[in-house]
Amino acid sequence: MVKNGYKLLALLTIVNLTLTSCASNKLDLYSQSAAISGKGGTYKVGSPYQIAGKWYYPEEDYDYVETGTASWYGKDFHAKYTANGEIYDMNTLTAAHRTLPLPSIVRVTNLENGRSLVLRVNDRGPFAKNRIIDVSKRASQLLGFQTQGTAKVKVEIMEKESKALKAALTGAKGNTYASNYKSNQVVSIPQKPVSIYTPQKQVSQTDGKLYIQVGSFSKQSMAENLKRQLMDYGHIKIVPVDVSGNRFYRVRVGPYAAQNEANTVLSKIKNAGLVDATLVNE
């Protein structure tokens, strides 16, 4: 833990020193170090997944540059789990992306006003209206588009910083950006406390078992695909049912003995983009 903590703190220093030498925007200067400091999450790329009939293929793409529409997300997701296990705080500088590694570091430039921010991608999304990135509420304020809701942006992955962050989180060798700095060069970044809570979705209590139903399909192959995507969330089962003479295949996670445990997993699944998931009693 001490060794990994040293690497992360050293990483803050190298990112700060690297970016301050070339940044010209005060907002950009503010965000360089603040974007790095996530807590509680793990590094992951993830398997291909399907949302609303469209497939997404996460990968380590350090040449990624894309121009398109950005949106933002706030209180509906605040203090819930992100896709890599962090706790989402809408007041910090983070973002959601459909395929980049979690976490990775990106520069987002608002092409409508020239403002630029460095953000840490720690969540999956957005999945609506061909938007390319969802930023936190605070990021949308600093980028100048919170009120209007969306903006045309350019998103660029920051290769050196993203690779260094990966190495610090995974303990990989060859982390020259973190290891070449001594402890007296470390910059301490103050952390804003996050209020953590477990959302309590009301479910009528019965003597049955509690499950999370993530989807229902008329084709078994689609249910099997979703089952493979959910393996990290626990025991998955496919339940065939007949409704009005038609066969459907329901994909469920569980069972759970306690509702608070089920709610915790439900939050993770919803934050991964499967927003129609719900609790059911069987």
pLDDT at 192 over 60: no
The reported pLDDT for the residue numbered 24 is 36
d(CA 243, CA 240): 10
Q: Which residue has the higher pLDDT, 8 or 149?
A: 149
Q: Which two tokens stand for residue 59?
A: 């990968």
Q: What is the pTM of this model?
A: 0.54
Q: How far apart are the first and last CA of the chain?
A: 42
Residue length of the chain: 282
Contact between 111 and 153 (Cβ < 8 Å): yes
Three-state SS string over 78-131 comes to CCCECCCCCECCCCCCEEECCCCCECEEEEEEECCCCCEEEEEEEECCCCCCCC
Which residues face 280 on adjacent strands?
211
Q: Can you give the three-state secondary structure of 42-67, one letter per residue?
A: CCECCCCEEECCEEECCCCCCCCEEE
Amino acid of residue 22: C
The tokens describing 14, both together, are 């190298």
- Give per-residue pLDDT as tens, 204-257: 444 458 999 988 888 888 888 888 888 888 899 999 988 777 888 899 998 988
Q: What is the pLDDT of residue 103?
A: 92
